Structure 1
Amino acid sequence: MSGNLRLLADTLARAKQENRAALITYMTAGFPTVDDGIAATQAMLNSGADIVEIGLPHSDPVLDGPVIQTADEIALRGGVRIADVIRTVREAYQATGKPVLVMSYWNPIDRYGAERFGGELAKAGGAGCILPDLPVQESALWRETAARHSLATVFVAAPSTTDERLRELTAAGTGFVYASALMGVTGVRDAVSTAAGSLVRRIRAVTELPVCVGIGISDAAQAGRVARFADGVIVASALVKAVLDAPDAAAGTATVAELTTELSRATRRHAD
């Protein structure tokens, strides 16, 4: 293991040693503009986030709820390109030295060229990709590319994922396993599904990879509950919504920083 794949592993291991869950946050690249998205991303990393996911906007984000769909639409209307996603990764990494992942549907990367994308992501300091719609059985091209560039390949497991499929995706994945806290699209929820704890236990039965839980975690209280049984807590829609609801980009960045600080404190209550 080398490069920023090692950085990702070390970051998760350090959180475990500190008896807390790592905080993983998310922001859509190019939202509300490229520069504003970079500012919000850096604010999160400077306010307690251990790792950040940069969303690659897609015209048909079928797995995302209305908040991230809206952010994607705004970014695409603004003319965001993959070069802007790579720039966001580069500037976030260079400013903070923390792991930066890209969250993307497979089609844009496939069309861009897996080798081209992987090479540019690695050169920018990226730690890897989360590819929620890429079946393990069809992932060989990307996994080979990722391995050449020391990038993580993170697969998503859902409560409905069979034990056999869990063994397949954990054997193929690197970095960590993304455990979906509930069935359905991303979004802000009033409560975290009780299925999350069961899914984490099932994943840990078949792999030693860290297990990070996301989808539906909306506030510090929910993050604190998940931090008691997960290696990482992933918060996305709540942070994007903070930017959407803000009167201007500067206010959005300030709110994102404040929310990230609250979430970070909550994940530190990992011990019973």
Structure 2
Amino acid sequence: MKILNKIKSDNESGKVSFISYVTAGDPDIKTTLDIMKSLANNGTDIIELGIPFSDPISDGPTIQKASERSLKKDINISKALNIVKEFRKEFSTPIIIFGYYNPFLRYGINNLMKDIKNVDANGILVVDLPPEESHQIQSSVNKHNLELVYLVAPTSTDYRIQTISNLSNSFIYLVSVTGVTGTRTNIDKNLMPFIKKLKRITKKPICVGFGISSTKHVNELKKKVNGIVIGSAIVKIIEKNLNDKREITKKISNFCKKISRACRI
């Protein structure tokens, strides 16, 4: 269980895991690969690679636009997995394939897990998959020795959290706010009490994302959780530098170094 083991070893070495998100094919395949290498070289512990989708209901405007840019380049699941295959020639950083149920279902669940395993990615997160409907994916994930990451929100009931904890063979992804992804100035005041409650219900590692974008946020959270997920802040750097690909990797490298330093406890 490479993702879980990475989080455990990070925590034991005195840091909270830094998980970075990037959309496959944004702004193009080569740059995505360069960005992933840059993430791995500059302190990212785990990479979430997003599969673009035409109706990304959980994503805010920044990641929606990234999906649109990627879809214009005809990026699909196969091309995204090929990026992982290329990345694996140099790096062993754990990778989570992040996406929506519909494209995964069309691809074929068992085929998808087999292909994820074949390129040596390590897990999958299906944003809009309720635990009640996860049986097919969970059994295929288990069969291929992958990890399935579930989302928990501050609105989740104790029963739902317990159900997810029982099903999950990976970390629990805590959505820090209700609503869509995106950068926010402050952490929701209700988040800390909810983290306490979550820890009472589950012993699984907790990684928090949605709206985490700065060293300030990391410093507030790092002693409370096992991992921090940053997506929109990274994708925003891509969006602002579309005309200069080298600037994208340079700025992402600098951003990651800062976040990685802040992740030390």
Q: Give the TM-score band, short-chain normalised.
A: over 0.9
Amino acid at match of 2:249: T
* 1:200 positional shift: 2.1
> Given the alignment of the two structures, is residue 240 of structure 1 paired with residue 229 of structure 2, yes or no?
no
Which residue matches 1:190? 185
> Given the alignment of the two structures, is residue 251 of structure 1 paired with residue 244 of structure 2, yes or no?
no
Which residue matches 2:105? 110
- 3-state SS of paired residue (2:201): coil
CA contact (8 A) 1:158 1:199 kept: no
| Cα distance between partner residues in 2 of 1:132 and 1:194 | 24
Aligned positions of 1:131-146 closer than 5 A? 131-146=126-141
* 1:193 positional shift: 1.4
Which residue matches 1:206? 201
Q: Is the deviation greater in 8-17 or in 44-53?
A: 8-17
| Cα distance between partner residues in 2 of 1:90 and 1:166 | 34
Which residue matches 1:174? 169
| Cα distance between partner residues in 2 of 1:89 and 1:204 | 33
Amino acid at match of 2:179: G
Which residue matches 1:25? 20
Which of 259, 262, 265 is the aligned partner of 2:261? Answer: 265
Amino acid at match of 1:190: T
Deviations 1:219-247 (A, max 9, x none): 11212211121100000000000111114
| Cα distance between partner residues in 1 of 2:215 and 2:88 | 25
What's the % identity of the aligned pairs? 28
TM-score by length of 2: 0.97
| Cα distance between partner residues in 2 of 1:176 and 1:89 | 21
Unaligned runs of at least 5 residues, structure 2: none
Amino acid at match of 2:148: T
* 1:256 positional shift: 0.8
Runs of 4 or more, structure 1, over 4 Å off, are: none
Which residue matches 1:125? 120
> Given the alignment of the two structures, is residue 8 of structure 1 paired with residue 11 of structure 2, yes or no?
no
| Cα distance between partner residues in 2 of 1:149 and 1:194 | 40
| Cα distance between partner residues in 2 of 1:108 and 1:147 | 20
| Cα distance between partner residues in 2 of 1:198 and 1:26 | 26
CA contact (8 A) 1:224 1:267 kept: yes
| Cα distance between partner residues in 2 of 1:94 and 1:171 | 35
* 1:184 positional shift: 0.7
Deviations 1:50-83 (A, max 9, x none): 0000000000001100000000000000111111
Which of 70, 81, 87 is the aligned partner of 1:92? Answer: 87
CA contact (8 A) 1:127 1:151 kept: yes
* 1:48 positional shift: 0.2
| Cα distance between partner residues in 1 of 2:113 and 2:86 | 17
| Cα distance between partner residues in 2 of 1:181 and 1:97 | 28
> How large is the RMSD of aligned CA atoms in angstroms?
1.1
CA contact (8 A) 1:30 1:80 kept: yes
Which residue matches 1:74? 69
The alignment of Structure 1 onto Structure 2 pairs a total of residues equal to 264
- 3-state SS of paired residue (1:52): strand
| Cα distance between partner residues in 1 of 2:145 and 2:198 | 24
Amino acid at match of 1:79: D
Aligned positions of 1:57-68 closer than 5 A? 57-68=52-63
Amino acid at match of 1:226: L
* 1:89 positional shift: 2.1
CA contact (8 A) 1:65 1:186 kept: yes
